[in-house]
Amino acid sequence: MAYVLPRSYPLREITALIRHSGFFFFVLMNKIVRKRQLSDAVFRMEIEAPLIAEERKPGQFIILQVEHDFGERIPLTIADADLQAGTISLIFQTVGATTKKLAALNEGDFIADLVGPLGLPTHLEKVGTVVCVGGGIGVAPLHPIVQGLKEAGNKVIVIMGARNKDLVILEDEMRALADEIILCSDDGSVGRKALVTEPLKELCESAEKPDLVVAVGPPIMMKFCALTTKPYEVHTIVSLNTIMVDGTGMCGGCRVTVGGETKFVCVDGPEFDGHLVDFDNMMKRLASYKDIEHKASHTCKTEELLKRGGKS
Amino acid sequence: MSHTPLVQLEAAAKAQLEQILAKGPLKPKDRTAIPQQEMPSQDALDRRGNMHQVALGYTPEQARVEAMRCLQCKNAPCIAGCPVNIDIPRFIARIAEGDYRGGIDVIKETSVLPAVCGRVCPQETQCQAVCTVGKVLKDVDLSVSIGRLERFVADWEREQGASELPEILASTGKKVAVIGSGPASITVAADVRRAGHEVTVFEAFHKPGGVLLYGIPEFRLPKQIVQQEIDTLRAMGVEIRTNFVVGRTRKIHDLMQKDGYDAVFIGTGAGLPRFMNMEGENLVGVFSANEYLTRSNLMRAYDLDRADTPIYSSRKVAVLGGGNVAMDAARTALRLGAEEVHLVYRRSRTEMPARVEEVQHAEEEGVMFHFLTNPVQILGDEDARVASMECLRYELGEPDASGRRRPIPIEGSNFKMDVDTVIVAIGNNSNPLIGQTTPGLELNKRGNIVVDESGKTSLEGVYAGGDIVLGAATVILAMGEGRKAAAAMNEYLSR
């Protein structure tokens, strides 16, 4: 029988286990098997997590900690998984203390603590034409959703937005999946010089009005995507990334107001009807700790979370 | 209340002990005349500035003197008052003789977590509520300090270093999954392992201990004590898997069908914080007590220099609720530097469910209590941060279903409280995750798992106990439930 132990187990506990349980062999978990830098501040890691790879579904996330005792728990969406290799893919931007420490790890290193898959999976069914909007790092969590929507038999148009061409991620992967790709950048260095809401509005006005829109990215982008589709009454799903501690419904730090009701992003979400989400309150809540300067990083938490945008 | 330093209490107890021993056999009248031993504690002003333990524990002399107050009554009402029926007079008699090993051994016949229960049990509503000494002296606060004595012998044993491992029967080859690692689960893991079954404990967090770790602060229950209980389980051969959310990482059916677990115990607790559903509750600066305490306790946010997890910096805090969790949150806020902490409770002092000692400690530390008061709404500033809280005053009416007098709002009594942080500590509902992901598991309408008197659920081989069954309750009740379920599981596995 194999005992799988996270790297964070103190040695004395491991030796105690060996002493008391005989000749079991140990496999350490959460090993980084591959690391790539996708852009200046964006990294992709393949991590050994066989149980999560087996159970995860599009839309779900994990929570990780780089240090066992004093680390912070941060949620990251699972960008992909390889069932055979028993790995999951995480794509993240280095914006705060924890993501910077994570980026400093290399292939062969272990992530102290990693738990998942968390949250409700995306509801996937054939609805017809779906427009998927991904902003910045939000393209990463969008990837498995596009995969799932295609598998369910939908026509999928992907709008990808980034500040400039260096920050575009997963373009090839998305081209391989989607029926159509519309690239936008703030400075026009790649694709159209436009905000993602421009092509979204055009599509809503076109003959081929989408049956569903899925938007994942910075809160402000999701807010305006929802505002864009509202007059056309196109059902719009957004994936929220709020402050979380446990990720299992225990703390309520992630709560948002949806249609006048309080919902927990970790267990009721992370996906909600974008037309019902109170984005202004959510953005204020993301700024809860903006006054607290962090010794580990001079980027303040708020900026980190706001910049982090989609779950990554 | 004035603070008496430890050395003074110790000296007094030494003198009292000498006097008592010189006097020879004690009559009941002599016993009830012995003054109750005060729990040595950190001075209130000092402890406001640190996270260290508040109650320091009896000295050996104090313990012996206090133990001599016990009348050793034949009917021993205290035993029935204890949810796990510890043979209280017998362990106290051992302490009176100075036989601490004998004392702790008696407790361990029925309880697996004496160092924890001695600190966090609401003794004044259980064993001490029915104590004959308290009855004779017409004051329940003057009952024999059973909890402090329990803590004393448990700490004594731990300080000796080598706590003895319980005997473990030969391996049965059966496998048991225990979900959660709080008091109910620790109890089940120990009892089932003792019967020779292989046990794996699954914990969602990165550290085991459940509410003992994330909920109860260091100043009330040092984490080293919890760690020791967990180490004991490991030494007994129990495997503990952290970062594992049953229902998400693996479902119960898969644990049983794919992974070969023969029985499962669900001890996932009441982990879904309740809110008031009032205007302004999602403003910045409103927290569930769970979140606030988890940040400080489990994530160690109080250690501002070392922890990456931030905690809200507050000047004026309102804590809503009157239970132990509310006291813990209020006292944590003080320690984190809040200038004012207001505890707002809609009933009166006598209805507060918190332990008397915690209420007293909170008052000594400067927490301000507002009884018969309840918030109506929380008001924010232009950044959606808490600016104030509007409250309503109440008066007590007729007793309600809980037997406590129902609070009735006084119309037009609205007033504003100037606060920047609100911590909601009005209780927890059960976490729905296991129910949602386990078809066939029967729940009641409040979301608690339905079990029979042995702790068995509607599913074959699946048992449950603790707060997931009881709703939010206490450590000792969770432990009692665990004991019962473990016995039933051992019986089920032997068939």
Is the Cβ pair A115, B206 closer than 8 Å?
Answer: yes
Are residues A45 and A187 located together in one domain of the fold?
no
Q: If you average pLDDT over residues B284-301, what whole number do you get?
A: 95
Which residues in chain A have Cβ-Cβ distances shorter than 8 Å to B260? Answer: none
Q: Which of A17, A70, A280 sits opposite B308 (nearest CB)?
A: A70
- The alpha carbon of residue A128 is apart from the nearest alpha carbon of chain B, in Å, by 30
Question: What pLDDT, on the 0 to 100 scale, is given for residue A220?
Answer: 95
Using the 3D structure, point to which of A118, A148, A179 is the last residue of a domain: A118
Checking if the pLDDT of B5 tops 80, the result is: yes
Q: Which of A13, A116, A245 sits opposite B295 (nearest CB)?
A: A245
Q: If you average pLDDT over residues A73-85, what whole number do you get?
A: 94
Candidates A250, A283, A299: best to mutate against B (most CBs of B within 10 A) is: A250
Judged by average pLDDT, the poorest of A177-181, A304-308, B61-65, B458-462 is A304-308
User: Which CATH number is B273-428's, of 3.90.230.10, 3.30.470.10, 3.50.50.60, 3.30.830.10?
Assistant: 3.50.50.60
Q: If you average pLDDT over residues B346-369, what whole number do you get?
A: 93
Question: What pLDDT, on the 0 to 100 scale, is given for residue A292?
Answer: 66
pLDDT band at residue A290 using 50, 70 and 90 as cut-offs = confident
Q: If you average pLDDT over residues B291-320, what whole number do you get?
A: 93
Question: What pLDDT, on the 0 to 100 scale, is given for residue B270?
Answer: 83
pLDDT band at residue B257 using 50, 70 and 90 as cut-offs = very high
pLDDT band at residue B163 using 50, 70 and 90 as cut-offs = low
Q: Classify residue A298: in a domain, yes or no.
A: no
Which residues in chain B have Cβ-Cβ distances shorter than 8 Å to A259? Answer: none
Question: What pLDDT, on the 0 to 100 scale, is given for residue A293?
Answer: 47
Q: If you average pLDDT over residues A276-284, what whole number do you get?
A: 95
Q: Least CA distance to B232: which residue of chain A?
A: A16
Confirm or reject contact between B274 and chain A (CB < 8 A). no
Q: If you average pLDDT over residues B140-151, what whole number do you get?
A: 96
Checking if the pLDDT of B126 tops 60, the result is: yes
Question: Cα(B22)–Cα(B28) distance, rounded to whole angstroms?
Answer: 17
CATH topology identical between B6-40+48-160 and B273-428? no
Q: Which of A52, A112, A291 sits opposite B313 (nearest CB)?
A: A291
Q: Least CA distance to B276: which residue of chain A?
A: A262
ipTM: 0.89
Question: What pLDDT, on the 0 to 100 scale, is given for residue A295?
Answer: 41
Q: Say which CATH number the domain at A282 has.
A: 3.40.50.80
Which residues in chain A have Cβ-Cβ distances shorter than 8 Å to B285? Answer: 288
Are residues A63 and A177 located together in one domain of the fold?
no
Is the Cβ pair B245, A115 closer than 8 Å?
Answer: yes
Q: Classify residue A303: in a domain, yes or no.
A: no
Q: Classify residue A41: in a domain, yes or no.
A: yes
Is the Cβ pair A245, B285 closer than 8 Å?
Answer: no
Q: Classify residue A297: in a domain, yes or no.
A: no
Are residues A111 and A195 located together in one domain of the fold?
no
Q: If you average pLDDT over residues A72-76, what whole number do you get?
A: 94
Which residues in chain A have Cβ-Cβ distances shorter than 8 Å to B258? Answer: none
Q: Which domain holds residue A96?
A: 11-118
Q: Say which CATH number the domain at A113 has.
A: 2.40.30.10
- The alpha carbon of residue A235 is apart from the nearest alpha carbon of chain B, in Å, by 25
Q: Which of B248, B277, B308 sits opposite A116 (nearest CB)?
A: B248
Q: Classify residue A95: in a domain, yes or no.
A: yes
Q: If you average pLDDT over residues A71-85, what whole number do you get?
A: 94
Confirm or reject contact between B73 and chain A (CB < 8 A). no
Q: Classify residue A308: in a domain, yes or no.
A: no
Could you please state the CATH topology (level 3) that the domain comprising B6-40+48-160 is classified under.
Fumarate Reductase Iron-sulfur Protein; Chain B, domain 2 (1.10.1060)
Which residues in chain A have Cβ-Cβ distances shorter than 8 Å to B273? Answer: 250-252
- The alpha carbon of residue B254 is apart from the nearest alpha carbon of chain A, in Å, by 11
Checking if the pLDDT of A43 tops 90, the result is: yes
The CATH superfamily holding the domain B175-269+446-493 is FAD/NAD(P)-binding domain (3.50.50.60)
pLDDT digits over B180-224, tens only?
999 999 999 999 999 999 999 999 999 999 999 999 999 999 999
Checking if the pLDDT of A56 tops 80, the result is: yes
pLDDT band at residue A7 using 50, 70 and 90 as cut-offs = very low
Question: What predicted TM-score, i.e. pTM, was given to this entire model?
Answer: 0.90
Checking if the pLDDT of A298 tops 50, the result is: no
pLDDT digits over B70-105, tens only?
999 999 999 999 988 999 999 999 999 999 999 999
Question: What pLDDT, on the 0 to 100 scale, is given for residue B401?
Answer: 85
Q: Using a pLDDT cut of 90, give the percent of chain B over it.
A: 83
Using the 3D structure, point to which of A85, A118, A151 is the last residue of a domain: A118
Checking if the pLDDT of B462 tops 60, the result is: yes
Question: What pLDDT, on the 0 to 100 scale, is given for residue A3?
Answer: 42
Are residues A231 and A135 located together in one domain of the fold?
yes
Q: Classify residue A140: in a domain, yes or no.
A: yes
pLDDT band at residue A296 using 50, 70 and 90 as cut-offs = very low
Q: Classify residue A107: in a domain, yes or no.
A: yes
pLDDT digits over A188-227, tens only?
999 999 999 999 999 999 998 999 999 999 999 999 999 9
Confirm or reject contact between B237 and chain A (CB < 8 A). yes
Which residues in chain A have Cβ-Cβ distances shorter than 8 Å to B312? Answer: 288-289
Which residues in chain B have Cβ-Cβ distances shorter than 8 Å to A17? Answer: 234, 239
* Domains held by chain A: number: 2
Top-confidence range, A231-240, A290-299, B427-436: A231-240
Which residues in chain B have Cβ-Cβ distances shorter than 8 Å to A118? Answer: 245, 248
Question: What pLDDT, on the 0 to 100 scale, is given for residue A299?
Answer: 43
Confirm or reject contact between B399 and chain A (CB < 8 A). no
Checking if the pLDDT of A6 tops 60, the result is: no
Question: For chain B, what is the HEC assignment?
Answer: CCCCCHHHHHHHHHHHHHHHHHHCCCCHHHHHHCCCCCCCECCHHHHCCCCCCCECCCCHHHHHHHHCCCCCCCCCHHHHHCCCCCCHHHHHHHHHCCCHHHHHHHHHCCCCCHHHHHHHCCHHHCHHHHCHHHHHCCCHHHCCCHHHHHHHHHHHHHHCCCCCCCCCCCCCCCEEEEECCCHHHHHHHHHHHHCCCEEEEECCCCCCCCHHHHCCCCCCCCHHHHHHHHHHHHHCCCEEECCCCECCCECHHHHHHCCCCCEEEECCCCCEECCCCCECCCCECEEEHHHHHHHHHCCCCCCCCCCCCCCCCCCEEEEECCCHHHHHHHHHHHHCCCCEEEEECCCCHHHCCCCHHHHHHHHHHCCEEECCEEEEEEEECCCCEEEEEEEEEEEEEEECCCCCEEEEECCCCCEEECCCEEEECCCEECCCHHHHHCCCCCECCCCCECCCCCCECCCCCEEECCHHHHCCCCHHHHHHHHHHHHHHHHHHHHC
Are residues A107 and A147 located together in one domain of the fold?
no
Question: What pLDDT, on the 0 to 100 scale, is given for residue A297?
Answer: 45
Checking if the pLDDT of A16 tops 70, the result is: no
pLDDT band at residue A1 using 50, 70 and 90 as cut-offs = very low
Is the Cβ pair B239, A21 closer than 8 Å?
Answer: yes
Confirm or reject contact between B242 and chain A (CB < 8 A). yes
Is the Cβ pair B308, A17 closer than 8 Å?
Answer: no
- The domain limits of chain B are 6-40+48-160, 175-269+446-493, 273-428
